[in-house]
Structure 1
């Protein structure tokens, strides 16, 4: 379970988040959608314990991230696919992560296969990876400990159509095993294909939430999204 309770974050008098509240139940994928600058990354950084809310709370599996006893086993995070040492190979990145978690080396092979990186690609330096390969490696690193909750910030960036289809199938499989998946994106169509529930955010506020069908209301979800976000932008102008 992932829960936001009236989370507000203020930077130098500007509200990046304004009483954001929503829940991601176990066994579901929630799409966290909004234009660039809407507050998605700020909310996820708060959830992952990288910054504190000004007020409200964000909890994972019943606790703030910093209070989890084994956070890497409980929660997998991908907040920046580029945050890997460029001189290390993909296999080395995963092996170091496995060692820190006390996992056997065999888990590295399992994860490389799971995310579709070949043996040759695993031996290549991360600095030579395409963005799509970096995304696959980042997702693999998040999955090392077989977490019960997954936090992914823009994981579809750089993936080709085949990679996006792979990601959909992976996330649906993880949700089917009971994982709570929070997926942020500005790519409406891709999230619509995989999400059980969607939270639309604009100018730091939750504008609407529900199933894709509920939010569409007989119109295209894209038109609903555009109408809500443009209204939010006008309200803060």
Structure 2
């Protein structure tokens, strides 16, 4: 389970998050939906221990991330696919991750196959990868430890339509196995297709949350989101 309890974050005089609360249940996918700059990445950084909240708390599997036993094994994260070392091969990056987690090197072959990277692509340096390939590699790294929770920031960026469809199926399979999946995006259609529940955020505040049907109210999810962001005083442009 993933929980945000009244989380606020203030940078100097700017309130990046304002009393954010929601829950991601085991065996479900929650879409964290909002325009760029809405506060999604800040919330995920707090959840994974990279930033401290000004007030409130964020927990995963019942504890703050930093207090978990072997957190990188139990919680898979993809926050920035571009952060991978460009001079290393995809296989080297996954191998280093497997060593840190105490996993056999055979896990690397399993992961390359799972995320659709060929053996040849695994031998290429990441500097030569497309953004879509980096996303696949980053997702593979997040899945090395067979996590109980997944935290993914804009994972569909750079994926072609086939890759997006593949990712949806993978996330649904992971949720079906009991994993709690938090997926952030600014793309309405992407979230609508895969999420059990959606949390809409704008200007650091939760504007609405619920199932697609509950949020759309017969108007369609896109119109509902446009109405909410307009009411919050922020354009989605």
Distance in 2 of aligned mates of 1:86 and 1:157: 18
Write the mapping of 1:34-45 to structure 2, written as runs, cut at 5 A. 34-45=34-45
1:166 maps to which residue? 166
Say if 2:141 is the partner of 1:122: no
Equivalent residue of 2:69, what SS? coil
1:104 maps to which residue? 104
Unaligned runs of 5+ in 2: none
Distance in 1 of aligned mates of 2:220 and 2:118: 39
Q: What TM-score do you get using the length of structure 1 for normalisation?
A: 0.98
Give the CA deviation at 1:216.
Answer: 0.6
2:55 maps to which residue? 55
Equivalent residue of 1:82, what SS? helix
1:18 maps to which residue? 18
1:212 maps to which residue? 212
Unaligned runs of 5+ in 1: none
2:175 maps to which residue? 175
1:87 maps to which residue? 87
Distance in 1 of aligned mates of 2:154 and 2:40: 9
Q: What TM-score do you get using the length of structure 2 for normalisation?
A: 0.98
1:81-100 CA distance string (max 9 Å, x none): 01111010000000000001
Give the CA deviation at 1:233.
Answer: 2.3
1:54-88 CA distance string (max 9 Å, x none): 00000000000010011011100000001111010
Give the CA deviation at 1:234.
Answer: 5.1
Give the CA deviation at 1:232.
Answer: 1.2
Check 1:234–1:183 CA distance in 2 against 1; reply closer, same or farther (3 A cut).
Answer: closer
After the TM superposition, list the runs of 4 or more consecutive aligned residues in structure 1 that deviate by more than 2 angstroms.
none
Distance in 2 of aligned mates of 1:185 and 1:234: 17
Distance in 2 of aligned mates of 1:182 and 1:211: 14
